[in-house]
Amino acid sequence: MARKTSDVMVKALENEGIEYIFGIPGEENLDLLDSLKNSTIKLVVTRHEQAAGFMAATVGRLSGKVGVALSTLGPGATNFATAAAYAQLAGFAMMMITGQKPIRKSKQGSFQIVDIVENMRPITKFTKQIADGELVTSLVREAIRVSEEEKPGAVHLELPEDIAEQMTDAQVFPVHPVRRPIAEVKAIQKAIDMIEAADTPLLLIGAGANRKRTQKMLREFVDELGIPFVSTQMGKGVVTEAHPLYLGCCALSAKDYEHVCIEKADLIIMVGHDVVEKPPFIMQHGKPPLVIHIHFYTAKVDNVYFPQLEVVGDIANTIWQIKEGMKKQDHWDYTFIHKVKKELEAHLLIGIDDNRFPLMPQRIVHDLRKAMPDDGIACLDNGMYKIWFARCYKAYEPNTLLLDNALATMGAGLPSAMAAALLYPEKKIVAVCGDGGFMMNSQEMETAVRLDLNLTVLVLNDNAYGMIKWKQNASHFDKFGLDLKNPDFVAYAQSYGAKGYRVTAADEFSKILQECLHGSERGVKLIEVPVDYTWANMILDKELPGIINDIMPATKPRISYSLSMASNVPQTVDEVPSPTRGTSATPSSKLDSVKAEHPQTVDGVEESSAVSNEQETLAPDVVAKEVPENFESKHEESEVKLYPMYLANRAMTPNSQLEVINKYTNKVAARCAMASPADIHNAVAAAEKALPAMAAMASYERKAVLEKVVDEVKARFEEFAHALCVEAGKPIRDSRGEVQRLIDTFTIAAEESVRIYGEYAPLDISERCKGYQSLVRRFPIGPVSMISPFNFPLNLAAHKIAPALAVGCPFVLKPASRTPLGALLLGEILSRCNLPEGAFSILPCSRDAADLFVTDDRFKLLSFTGSPTIGWDMKARAGKKKVVLELGGNAACVVEDIVPDLETIVERIIHGAFYQSGQSCISVQRVYIREELYETVSSALVAKASTLVKGDPSDEKTFIGPLISESDAKRIEGWVNEAVKGGARVLTGGKRDGAFYDATILEDVSPEAQVHTEEVFGPTMELASYKDYKTAIANVNQSKFGLQAGVFVADLNKAFYAFEQLDVGGVCINDAPSMRIDSQPYGGVKDSGLGREGVRYAMEDMTELRVMLLRNAGQLA
């Protein structure tokens, strides 16, 4: 039976599940209005078409089903333009129906006529005039299908007045579900390969991921693979931001904590991102991170976004397939990123309890988040506050913080909140508007009151267009043209029948919020909140960029060999050394960039790193090149031995993931097993279980174990020395010296193991204490966590292991990942000793897994040797356990007198500065020479340094071997060049050759130069003259470090003056500060550490004092 076209159109909309139509009908819509009269569709009449469009778009955003808006022709239709662009850019399903004059016959000429179809074409996916009633159902079905399919957007149908009244037999088209296509298998596999090969993959969630199935799959992906994630502004809440792996929202395009994490990453998994959203970060050609684009559609290439891989298809299915096709990788490294997250969380606390008035935006965000339930919906307009909500307001569920980061229009906040309140009347809904944005659609307060919505409106009032003022100020323009004079917002709200509140003090805000959100009275409430952005803007303009600039140099990501192979993107490489040069091009560890800022990390940060050569990369400051065919970083030497790890005394080889590189040939010299987090957990459990048996061992039994180690090492002396020479690049003479020191350390421990004395004391110190006496004894503290460095991998491990065995403490040791062999050889010997099961574990492992060494409360002591940056962070995270830190230094030596003779002074200083290529925390770095002696001593030092032999560390003549990596040599080169630019003179050396750096002596170094203030950890020292002895001592103390100092002096009083005044852990009289006796207390002050090593002193740290009080003991009745 024939019906009016308008009736059929309404039936078609009902068939599509449309529940609301928002808008303002006009004369040309009267037929359609009459057809809606008896429809299940609710007509919501608004006060402006733009607001109706925003409400329809929000329905599409929240439900995924098209929202519909209605207007008349001409001016009513053109008022939809902003809302159409809002939906189109952001990806919200929305349909606009506009009227038009009769098209077959009209008596009004061109009155009010605008070509709306063409007007809508640039800002919609589909726009069409219904020119015949027979077409109405097919066009409704097609328009809604196009609007809802990926990417959702705006569509438009124009219904002319005469067509609306036309009779038609058109039938409604059934709605069939459509299955989205899934991604190609090869693309899925390549994504898996790239993610597995990456060192630090990150997940970045965009607006397109905000789909129900995708939300679920992403949560599983994060939970199972442990990959941290950030979000764009419109991706907030897709995965709950309460998740421990959530790193924050990219509220800005750069210079925020999230960008440090992104810069640190070598691969970003971009899920649902579209360039219409303000960039969460800026991609750069030839530099990581690489990007995998996962979306329903291909990426639009832009100057800021050009992904290396596109995986196109249903996002949820793609994420599921990737998750099912891979496992969490042990080499993924998030230590740095988790540290940045902690700094971000601390930063976001700034201002949340600030009582200044007008309120700070941080306080407003905090109080609102606290007042809102997890499923409450905050709908933002656009203004300065949006940055702070994006940064600080955690969205615990999807679609609970609605902000616009595509068109970023003002005026949408209130209409969006009204649509949310219509859809979810049981939820708490808040519109957050600036005074400028609110006034653009404030007339809709009447609509909200008429609809009896339960809605709270925050008007953040700064009497200005605040964000534009911020930009105006940042661009150094004069203040002009952006201030406003607002109405009385409380009275304004009341004039519409809403309730109005005004905050007059900071602590009132939360109370008013509680009343509005959780009070018994429903309805529309408006809260005027005076806001001051001055301090917040200063944070964004000055404080935050400064913080990020300080952190960012520690990122410097690289495209590793493995990621290069997986992605077909050139590896980040340096020039490849000629095999005949004998120099090392060893790929640097993932934290080499941190070492550039804190060079002492070569002694410690790397100890938290466990990467095979597959995951290592070269320095980032060179242009990426194709990997040469003869690139040798993956080649193996003719015989590569596999070393097991030791878990609860037993050798285990679950894998061979860790490659140990010969630092001279740059070839794989050995492979080692790497422990998983489960292995470490089991090792700690075994140590805890072994404690009673270890504590019960007799002194002679512990001594026997230590002596057996001494005997075994002596028998295998050259094996230990050559392993050390290969893995550390340490000259063979120094390697033998370290093996001898290991023997000395275990010998001292064997002797001390039978000298753990207690104390007897009479306690009858007053009448109350008559008859009391005491015995004091030391007991093992419990399981000990040990992390040892690369530079002395044998003896510094021995300084932890031997004292633990001497007192009866089980231990778990993480050796340096680049030099694990010596510790594993020790493990082999210990596994044959008579020790209780679980007494020791030696576990090379990844940095993520190594976090247990710091945080596990079953450990009672953490002993760490490494960098101040990492060491102090470990102490902060270590909980209640005792912590001993042996960190860095920039040791100084004072030459006051020629004693005993010039030759000895020169020999001791040269050896102290340049042995092991200066890679020692007590290497001589600063030398202060009395003015009268300066020429004599400096000339002799320069002459001696120029004779040092550089080359193959296995050659008996070699004194200077390669540094641990070429990137460290480059860092030192950069620091020396910086010093020279600042006025320093190079007296000898100053040249780099691959991973080698010449023995270098400088003078006239600025006190601000990094070679002066930081730990160089390389073969570099500076000379300076002084006139007054007290001044020289004071100069030594002008350092953030305080490990050891040396003083050549003939006057005993001056020697004691140095001993008493120097702020260091040890003073070497008539020797360089590089001297350490393995029985001495060894450690530093200031940034150089906490506690003391040295066998007997370490034993004290590894024991607890226990007192037994005796009353009337020995008295007979």
- Written as one string, the DSSP assignment of 503-566 is --STTHHHHHHHHHHHSS--SEEEEEEEB--HHHHHIIIIIHHHHHHHHGGGT-----HHHHHH
C-alpha 21/C-alpha 43 separation (Å) is 5
Stretch (H or E) spanning 156: strand 154-160
Query: Do residues 72 and 111 make contact, with C-beta atoms less than 8 angstroms apart?
Result: no
Predicted local distance difference test score (pLDDT) of residue 621:
29
Q: Whats the size of the chain, residue-wise?
A: 1117
Domain borders along the chain are 3-168, 185-347, 361-531, 645-756+778-886, 892-1085
**Residue listed under structure tokens 């940095």:** 847
Whether residue 582 contacts residue 594, with contact meaning beta carbons closer than 8 Å, is answered with no
Fold match between domain 3-168 and domain 892-1085 = no
Q: Cα–Cα distance between 727 and 666 in angstroms, integer?
A: 10
CATH code for the structural domain at 361-531? 3.40.50.970
Which helix (H) or strand (E) segment holds residue 1030: the answer is helix 1029-1037
Chain-centroid distance of CA 655 in Å reads 28
Question: Which H helix or E strand runs over 1065?
Answer: none
CATH class of 892-1085: alpha beta
Positions in the chain short of pLDDT 70: 106-109, 570-639
pLDDT of residue 1116: 87
DSSP state of 302: B
- 12 within 8 A of 136, measured Cβ to Cβ: yes
User: Of 344, 410, 405, which is closest to residue 382 (Cα–Cα)?
Assistant: 410
| Catalytic center residues | 886
Dihedral sign of CA atoms 739, 741, 746, 747 in order: positive
Q: Determine the pLDDT at residue 109.
A: 66
DSSP assignment, residue 124?
-
Residues 169 and 15: their CA atoms lie apart, in Å, by: 16
Q: State what percent of residues in the chain have pLDDT above 90.
A: 83
Architecture of domain 185-347: 3-Layer(aba) Sandwich (3.40)
Query: Positive or negative, the Cα torsion across 960, 961, 964, 968?
Result: positive
Pairing between β-strand 992-993 and β-strand 309-312 as defined by DSSP bridges: unpaired
Give one DSSP letter per residue of 577-629, joined into a string: PPTTTT---PPBPTTHHHHHH-GGGGGTGGGG----GGG-B--TTS---PPPT
Residue 368 Cα distances to 487, 537, 660, angstroms: 24, 20, 54
CA distances from 765 to 761, 771, 1113, 1114 (A): 11, 10, 16, 18
Q: What is the pLDDT of residues 862-903, one digit of tens each?
A: 999 998 989 999 999 999 999 999 999 999 999 999 999 999
747-767 pLDDT per residue, tens: 999 999 999 999 999 999 999
Q: Give the pLDDT of residue 177.
A: 87
> CA-to-CA distance for 186 and 26, rounded, in angstroms?
55
Element (H, E) at 290: strand 290-295
Helix spans in 65-160 (H) = 74-78, 81-90, 116-120, 136-148
Structural contact between residues 1016 and 989, judged by C-beta atoms closer than 8 angstroms? no
CATH tag for 3-168 (out of 1.20.120.80, 3.30.300.130, 3.30.70.1070, 3.40.50.970): 3.40.50.970
How many Cβ atoms sit within 10 Å of the Cβ of residue 502? 18
**So what's the pLDDT on residue 475?**
86
What is the reported pLDDT for 633?
A: 32
pLDDT for position 626: 29
Beta bridge partners of 928: 894, 1024
Report residue 49 as tokens.
């078409």
Q: Are 530 and 385 in contact (CB under 8 A)?
A: no
φ and ψ at 1093, to 5 degrees? Answer: -100, -170
* CATH 3.40.605.10 given to domain 645-756+778-886: yes
Task: Please report how the helices 821-830 and 795-807 are oriented relative to each other, as an axis angle in degrees rounded to 10.
Answer: 30
- Nearest by Cα to 24 from 93, 120, 97: 97
